Structure 1
């Protein structure tokens, strides 16, 4: 029984680590420079493969964002079922927002194709529609999705901190990084900052923490807890 429990914990740790890395990689690969540029209405249709590739990797992010809290749930629910369940819920919400972001991206591609057909006719209408779609995509990706997933991370990191399943310094780093990432999204939402250097700096700590946490989980797994010690005695 003990060996089975240990195997489950080890498997969960490795899968969580792999998904954390997958989330970081797919997040980088989902960036679509032509949509963020000034001439996105012109360039999106001429760079359709870049847009579709970005949409594909963004969809693949769902596997990571939803999978991480789900793989952690069997381990974390033993220590705090409510927070573990909340983490899963926020992960699923993040997945739903990712889908909305992908739909918006594909709508922008459609608008770009239509804009290419009409040329200079009704330019202002297309610019207004494209601007609204791009603004909506930014809010979905950098506010709604980010807030949902970072809240999921904050909850399971808090359980890590309480139980010492991973080193305390790594948990503290995660809690601070999550808080900074939440702050970045809120500041972007109220237009205090843009998708600029300030936004990136606020998100750097949590990105590096995810990478180090992933490596730790893959290499070391979870630390034994007091509850595990009690189980061994039984």
Structure 2
């Protein structure tokens, strides 16, 4: 029975590591440069494949964002059921916001197609509508989704820290990274910063920690007795 439980824990650790890498890769591939540019109303429709590909990879992020806390719940709940359940809840919330972000992205593509048909006849109307949709998408992606997933990872890492399922230094790194990511989203929400270098720098610690954690889980697994 112990051997069976150990094997199950090992598989969960490896799968969690893979999902962490999937989340990082799909997050990068979901970026749609034509939407972030100043002339997005013109370029989105002429680069439809880029937009649709970005939407596809953004949807794939759900597998990672929702799958990680669910996959680790059976083991983490043995140590702290409340934190494990909270991590699952925030992961699911992040998944819902990802879907909303994709919908807004596809609506922007539709607006771009309509703008291409009418030209500059109703330019102000389309610019206003496009601005609202793009602003809404930025808030959903970089505030709502990021906050939900960062909170999921924060609770997730709290259990790691308490139980030493992974090294303490890796857990501390994750707690600091999650906190900085939350800070970046809040600062962006109040318009103190934009989607600029400052925002990226604040998110580097959590991204790098997730990569190291993924490698650790796949190579070392979890150590219930501490390290």
TM-score range, shorter chain: over 0.9
- Alignment deviations for residues 159-179 of structure 1 (CA, whole Å, 9 cap, x no partner): 000000000000000000000
CA-CA distance at 1:224 after TM superposition: 2.6
Matching residue of 2:215:
215
User: What is the alpha-carbon distance in structure 1 between the residues aligned to residue 224 and residue 75 of structure 2?
Assistant: 11
Aligned-pair CA distance for 1:4: 1.0
TM-score, normalised via structure 1 length: 0.96
Report the TM-score, using the length of structure 2 for normalisation.
0.99
Deviation at 1:12, TM superposition (A): 0.6
Q: How many residues align?
A: 226
What runs of 5+ residues in structure 1 fail to find an aligned partner?
227-234
**DSSP-derived class of the 2:165 partner:** coil
- Could you say which residue in structure 1 is the equivalent of 2:119? 119
Corresponding residue for residue 61 of structure 1: 61
5 Å-filtered alignment, 1:162-181, equals: 162-181=162-181
Instruction: Please identify runs of 4+ aligned residues in structure 1 that moved more than 2 A.
Output: none
Question: 1:36-51 maps to which residues of 2 (within 5 A)?
Answer: 36-51=36-51
Q: Distance in 1 between matches of 2:145 and 2:32?
A: 17
Q: Which runs of 5+ in 2 are unaligned?
A: none
Shift in Å at residue 225 of structure 1? 2.4
Deviation at 1:8, TM superposition (A): 1.1
Tell me the residue number matched to 1:95.
Answer: 95
Task: Tell me if 1:4 matches 2:4.
Answer: yes
- 1: distance between equivalents of 2:176 and 2:212? 15
Alignment of 1:1-234 (within 5 A): 1-225=1-225
CA distance in 2, matches of 1:8, 1:82: 22
**Cα distance in structure 2, aligned partners of 1:52 and 1:34:** 12
1:223 is paired with a residue whose SS is coil
Distance between the aligned counterparts of 1:130 and 1:8, measured in 2?
48
**1-structure distance, mates of 2:109, 2:120:** 18
Computed over aligned residues only, the root mean square deviation of the Cα atoms, in angstroms, reads 0.6
Deviations along 1:106-128, whole A, 9 cap, x unmatched? Answer: 00000000000001111000000
